[in-house]
């Protein structure tokens, strides 16, 4: 049995004060739900405050990115070592990083290795663009992102994969549960051929892209979908709690 997981990606939203308020607003509701991993990913500058607030609860904190070097002359970057005391998870290879900040499969691969070496749990994002999808290249792209991202990384069930079709992110046009379920089954198959089927069965794979409290059930009813990476809807405490609640209930 894979333990379900819901992660909230706040992206470049919330000042420190707003992050504190949002965390306090969602914490009681999140704490009350069990048998599910709950992760919130605020901006870097709020990690310290947010991690203090959730301390001693089962709610975990994640970062949204990091550089792969431990320290040094890399102006503006944040290292795995710096994150280690502040969070448990780190989102890597998000499509916005790939699209706007030039992250390639090789860079994502370096980051995944660095996160694992430091003991951070990576949420490894993959997903095809609209053009790739329309050209019928979805599986080819996903297989390339999985094998490229995991190059020289040995089988590891601690990696969480997030399948986020780029055309579904922030657009209000989510995939259907059936579409996402079949694609995630394919990703699990790719993990089985990259590593082995036992590990592939243990790795959690999330869906992401316009997930709301109105459509989450459709995704988590799919046997291959273990939860969601939620953007916009994770910025509203009641919506995020409801997404977690429905997932926990349906994955019982």
Distance CA 238, CA 141 (A): 35
Q: State yes or no: residue 87 binds ligand PGA (CB under 6 A).
A: no
∠ CA(60), CA(226), CA(219), 5° rounding? Answer: 115
Distance CA 209, CA 167 (A): 8
Closer residue to ligand PGA in complex, CB, 164/213? 164
Please, what is the minimum distance in Å from the beta carbon of residue 125 to ligand PGA?
Answer: 7
Q: State yes or no: residue 170 binds ligand PGA (CB under 6 A).
A: yes
Among 169, 184, 187, 225, binds ligand PGA (CB under 6 A): 169
The half-sphere exposure of 75 on its side-chain side, counting CA atoms within 13 A, is: 0
Question: Would you put residue 35 in left (φ > 0), alpha (ψ -120 to 50) or beta?
Answer: left
With a CB cutoff of 8 Å and minimum separation 6, the contacts of 123 are 7, 39, 62, 89, 90, 91, 92, 160, 161, 162, 206, 229
Structure tokens at 203: 């790795």
Q: State yes or no: residue 232 binds ligand PGA (CB under 6 A).
A: yes
Which residue among the candidates 96, 132, 164, 218 is catalytic per the annotation? 164
Among 164, 213, 222, 239, binds ligand PGA (CB under 6 A): 164
Q: Is residue 164 annotated as part of the catalytic site, yes or no?
A: yes
Q: How far is CA 134 from CA 10, 21, 129, 206, in A?
A: 29, 41, 9, 22
- Within residues 233-252, the interface with ligand PGA by CB under 6 A covers 233
Q: State yes or no: residue 9 binds ligand PGA (CB under 6 A).
A: yes
Q: Is residue 96 annotated as part of the catalytic site, yes or no?
A: no
Please, what is the minimum distance in Å from the beta carbon of residue 129 to ligand PGA?
Answer: 13
Closer residue to ligand PGA in complex, CB, 159/211? 211
* Piece of the chain touching ligand PGA by CB under 6 A; list 31-39, 188-196, 223-231, 240-248: 223-231
Q: At what angle do helices 177-194 and 138-149 cross, to 10 degrees?
A: 40
Q: State yes or no: residue 208 binds ligand PGA (CB under 6 A).
A: yes
Residues that bind ligand PGA (CB under 6 A): 9, 164, 169-170, 208-211, 229-233
What residues act catalytically? 94, 164
């Amino acid at each position: 049995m894979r333990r379900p997981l819901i992660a909230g990606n706040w992206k470049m939203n919330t000042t420190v004060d707003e992050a504190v308020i949002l965390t306090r607003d969602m914490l009681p509701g999140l704490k009350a739900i069990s048998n599910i991993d709950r992760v919130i990913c605020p901006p870097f500058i709020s990690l310290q405050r947010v991690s203090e607030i959730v301390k001693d609860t089962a709610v975990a904190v994640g970062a949204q990115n990091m550089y792969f070097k431990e320290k040094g002359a890399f102006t503006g970057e944040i290292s795995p070592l710096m994150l280690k005391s502040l969070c448990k998870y780190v989102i890597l290879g998000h499509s916005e990083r790939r699209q706007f900040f030039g992250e390639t499969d090789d860079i994502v691969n370096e980051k995944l290795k660095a996160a694992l070496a430091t003991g951070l749990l990576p949420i490894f994002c993959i997903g095809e663009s609209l053009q790739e999808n329309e050209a019928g290249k979805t599986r080819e792209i996903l297989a390339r992102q999985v094998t490229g991202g995991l190059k020289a990384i040995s089988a590891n069930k601690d990696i969480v994969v997030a399948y986020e079709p780029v055309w579904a992110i922030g657009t209000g046009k989510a995939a259907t549960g059936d579409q996402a379920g079949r694609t995630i089954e394919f990703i699990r198959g790719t993990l089985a051929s990259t590593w082995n089927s036992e590990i592939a069965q243990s790795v959690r794979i999330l869906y992401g892209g316009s997930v709301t409290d109105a459509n989450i059930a459709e995704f988590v009813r799919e046997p291959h979908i273990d939860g969601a990476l939620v953007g916009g809807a994770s910025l509203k405490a009641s919506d995020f709690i409801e997404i977690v609640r429905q997932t926990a209930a349906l994955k019982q």
